[in-house]
Amino acid sequence: MRVLYIHADFMEFESKKKTPAAEDVPAQMHNGRMEEVLVVFITVESSDKDSFDELSNEAVQDIVETAKKVGAERVMLYPYAHLSNDLAPPKDAINILRAIEEGVATSGMEVARAPFGWYKAFHIRCKGHPLSELSRDFKGRPSKEERGAEGTFIILTPEGEEIAVEDYKGGSECFREMVDKEALKKEGMVISEEPKYLRLCRKFGIQWEAMSDVGHMAFNPGGALMFDLVADYATAIVNDLDLPIYMVKGTNMFSLDEEPVREHAELFGDRLYTVDTGKQRFVLRYAACHQQFAMMRNWNISYRHLPFGAFEVADSYRLEQSGETMLCFRTRRLNMPDLHVLCRDMPEAQERFVALDERIVAEMAALGREYELLINLSSKQAYEDNKDMILRLLEKHQRPALLHFYPEGTNYYWTINIEYHILDQMKRAREIGTVQIDVGNAKRFGITYAGKEAERHYPIILHTAVIGTIERYLYTLFDSAVQIESEGKVGYLPTWITPEQIRLLPVSGSHVERASEIADRLESFGIRVSIDDSDSTVGKKVRRAKQDWCSYVAVIGDKELSSGVLNVYVRSSDSDEKMTADALGERIAAEIKGKPFRRMYMPRELSRRVDF
């Protein structure tokens, strides 16, 4: 909190026009005049709410001491948004101003306060002595532990047995790692070497952007293609659900002057990424919630329309600690394939929740991976209300879950929130997919539907990212590949995601034209094909194709052209197989069937490519 003191002969003001953040005050507060006064211009900053009591007490003590020191008989508190560009939400600022006003009055001094959020005209005459202009920067004491780190934990088995985390000895390696990290707060093993997945990030041109803020990524053509394919895949998954889906797009900035936005942001925690324009303060969305909810409040929804989903691959922002950012996994800008499902009531929401859980687990199983469940609960009552559903999930998965009970009495917008964790190559439990039940935001944003008798109801909202963020799904793909390598095998990626599904290697320049004809034929199957038309030897071309992780590699020479049979290297089996071009095209087309396809994001011929 920043403060400017002016010891004045007089100060008078008049409210002229309200802003969207204006507080409602009695008529007498819109005009004021004090003489022999210490005027206190106050700017409340975003972090001030974290030490509300300490900060307001510190400010009151200093204001009273300063007034006595300069001989002022009165104090006027004047909200002033121009001493900082890091403003607190209006609600927090008003609360702190009122606390300071009450504290100064309790000291016995006469005090008045100008209204917050109004454009005001004022006149002041500063006395001009050495102490008549002073500034202060109040910090208060450091903030308390963030909310997410609090609460209690137990382990729930598929049989319904509740076990203290200290007493449980079973579960997979991933489950034990998750329990150690989340419940027992044990530090993980220190990793001294570079994580192996980063080699694949570099290979496909995925990197940090040095000219941006910390935690922002850049994608060269190979990585950009993979990113867009995953986004397409996430969209296809949502459209495959047994549910009407509304595709939307929106902005990433929302004003903290809007009460629903501010309240939702306050519940999110201390990772808000904000933008200050000088006139307004905005929060950058941390998922698609704000935009979809802002739209839905204006939709004319009937009970006959429910359930339905709204979906966007939303650029999202979270102010992660700079020392904790991790390429593809923990970033400040991320892309969330965010689905919100509106349900009539809790029974319907629970049924849809179970169906989403099944799809989330199935998508990870398709990569040969298994999830462990961390189930966050807003209260013990939320546990009792959802216990039958939770046990249904655990029985189906035949594995225990770690239950995290958040502190009682806090008005969370959700009741149950499942985080799905995998064990990565570094032996760390990593959250990928999520699903939660939201009982607060429909009312907060004014989203309603009409019942059979036209009565208005607030829907229950499910939030889910079936495959996690785009970046975390890429992380999972890369981590799966390096885990295959750790078994002594050749690492590979699913063919649908590799930038070059097949590379043709002409033996010499005289074979390039025919290789191009074969490439045209293969592309007709909906396949990405590249041609290494460089002057390198066949051996070097083969090594380069393998280094570039091409799914299939075929040499084109006199023998292949005369016989019509290609000798094809298959990366997933690390073997050579003989087949015709059409058989190869049919094989790859069958392998990628049902998965999204995009053309290559760079020239087909390697001779035309720049080096990245």
Give the model confidence (pLDDT) of 480-503 as tens digits.
Answer: 999 999 999 999 999 999 999 999
**Residue 269 — pLDDT band, cuts 50, 70, 90?**
low
Amino acid at position 85, single letter: N
Q: Dump the DSSP string for 276-337.
A: E-SS-EEEEPSSSHHHHHHHHTTS-EEGGG-SEEEEEEEEEE----GGG-BTTTB-SEEEEE
* 3.20.20.80, 1.10.10.60, 3.90.1170.40, 3.50.80.10: CATH of 2-137: 3.50.80.10
SS3 of 147-211: HHHCCEEEEECCCCCEECHHHCCCCCHHHHHHHHHHHCCCCCCCCCCCCCHHHHHHHCCEEECCC
Q: Tens of pLDDT along 439-454?
A: 999 999 999 999 999 9
Percentage with pLDDT > 90 across the chain? 80
Sheet holding 502-506, edge to edge: 529-531, 502-506, 552-556, 566-570, 575-579
Q: Dump the DSSP string for 505-538.
A: EESSGGGHHHHHHHHHHHHTTS--EEE--SSS-H
State the virtual CA torsion across 123, 126, 127, 131 in degrees, nearest 10: 150
Asked: is 502-608 a CATH 3.40.50.800 domain? The reply is: yes
Amino acid at position 418, single letter: I
Q: What is the CA radius of gyration of the chain?
A: 30
How many CB atoms neighbour CB 431 within 10 A? 17
Q: Is the separation of the CB atoms in 238 and 338 below 8 Å?
A: no
Amino acid at position 424, single letter: D
What does the pLDDT read at residue 108?
A: 86
Are 2-137 and 149-250+303-478 the same fold in CATH? Answer: no
Distance from CA of residue 202 to its chain's centroid?
A: 23
**Sign of CA pseudo-dihedral 561, 564, 567, 573:** positive
Spatial CA neighbour of 247 closest among 310, 341, 338: 310
More confident of the two residues 189 and 488: 488
More confident of the two residues 311 and 265: 311
The SS3 call for residue 483 is helix
pLDDT at residue 147 tops 70: no
pLDDT at residue 238 tops 90: yes
State the virtual CA torsion across 174, 180, 183, 185 in degrees, nearest 10: -140
pLDDT at residue 196 tops 50: yes
The SS3 call for residue 599 is coil
DSSP state of 569: E
* Residue keyed to tokens 């011929």: 605
Q: Give the residue ranges of DSSP H helices in 81-150.
A: 90-106
- Residue 135 CA to residue 128 CA, distance in Å, equals 15
pLDDT at residue 365 tops 60: yes
pLDDT at residue 375 tops 80: yes
What does the pLDDT read at residue 143?
A: 38
Q: In this structure, what are the phi and psi dihedrals at residue 351, rounded to the nearest 5 degrees?
A: -65, -45
- Residue 75 CA to residue 109 CA, distance in Å, equals 7
Q: Is the separation of the CB atoms in 540 and 604 below 8 Å?
A: no
Domain ranges of the chain: 2-137, 149-250+303-478, 502-608
pLDDT at residue 139 tops 80: no
- Residue 546 in tokens: 């393998």
Please give the C-alpha separations between residue 524 and each of 135, 513, 583, 606, in angstroms, as whole numbers: 72, 17, 13, 20
Q: Within the chain, what is the greatest distance between any pair of CA atoms?
A: 104
pLDDT at residue 189 tops 90: no
What does the pLDDT read at residue 508?
A: 96
**Residue 34 — pLDDT band, cuts 50, 70, 90?**
very high
More confident of the two residues 352 and 409: 352
- Residue 438 CA to residue 342 CA, distance in Å, equals 10
| Measured CA angle at 316 (ends 594, 476), to 5 deg | 45
- Residue 146 CA to residue 141 CA, distance in Å, equals 14
Lowest average pLDDT, out of 277-291, 448-462, 582-596, goes to 277-291
DSSP state of 28: G
Q: Is the separation of the CB atoms in 378 and 418 below 8 Å?
A: no
Q: Looking at residues 71-78, what average pLDDT do you find? A: 95
What does the pLDDT read at residue 191?
A: 59
Superfamily covering domain 149-250+303-478: Bira Bifunctional Protein; Domain 2 (3.30.930.10)
pLDDT at residue 478 tops 70: yes
> On the CB side of 169, how many CA atoms lie within 13 Å of its CA?
1
What does the pLDDT read at residue 467?
A: 98
The SS3 call for residue 395 is helix
What does the pLDDT read at residue 188?
A: 66
b vs e for 163-191, b when ≥16 Cβ sit within 10 Å of the residue's Cβ? eebeebeebeebbbbbbebbbeeeeeeee
- Residue 473 CA to residue 234 CA, distance in Å, equals 10
Strands 2-18 and 31-43: antiparallel
- Residue 128 in tokens: 């001009």
Amino acid at position 429, single letter: A
Q: Give the residue ranges of DSSP H helices in 311-440.
A: 346-365, 380-397
Q: Looking at residues 345-369, what average pLDDT do you find? A: 98
| Measured CA angle at 103 (ends 101, 108), to 5 deg | 100
pLDDT at residue 141 tops 50: no
Q: Looking at residues 47-74, what average pLDDT do you find? A: 86
What does the pLDDT read at residue 350?
A: 98
- Residue 600 in tokens: 């290559």
Mean pLDDT in the chain? 93
Q: In this structure, what are the phi and psi dihedrals at residue 444, rounded to the nearest 5 degrees?
A: -60, -45
Q: In this structure, what are the phi and psi dihedrals at residue 37, rounded to the nearest 5 degrees?
A: -125, 145
b vs e for 433-460, b when ≥16 Cβ sit within 10 Å of the residue's Cβ? bbbbbbbbbbebbebbbeeeeeeeebbb
State the virtual CA torsion across 200, 206, 212, 215 in degrees, nearest 10: -50
pLDDT at residue 145 tops 60: no
Lowest average pLDDT, out of 98-112, 125-139, 185-199, 500-514, goes to 185-199
Q: Looking at residues 382-386, what average pLDDT do you find? A: 96
